[in-house]
Structure 1
């Protein structure tokens, strides 16, 4: 299974077909959420994520503005996405 076949959900990588959102999820009905677009580039030394920590810091701060408690710290998010 390649990394393109899985998605990070609830702290673990799961197959896309197993990633389900409950029908009563608040974000599904009301659009409550935060997101951050992160660019990655293929280089001679492998994949390089552009300003990874800065993006994750902004994501954390955005959550705080909406009083959303993020269950993962920036280092856990960095580790899971890099």
Structure 2
């Protein structure tokens, strides 16, 4: 287990089980120590996400509607709810 004591070794980091602070989880901020996920959680192993890049030419976004529709379609396929 990693030490929580500061050292001159820049690769030493605090152990994750003693971290302080909060994490956004399931729509609310929770204490770091109180956040648990199941070992078979899909996101832990695969990191599901959708991404769509946009370009702008001369200050105008190129094909914004098409990119936005593709992003929403991709999210729907993965079962994501887009607010």
Flag the structure with larger Rg.
Answer: 2
Could you say which structure has the greater relative contact order, defined with CA pairs below 8 angstroms and 6 or more residues apart?
1
TM-score band, normalised by the shorter chain? Answer: 0.3 to 0.5
TM-score w.r.t. length of structure 1: 0.46
Between Structure 1 and Structure 2, the one with more strand by share is 1
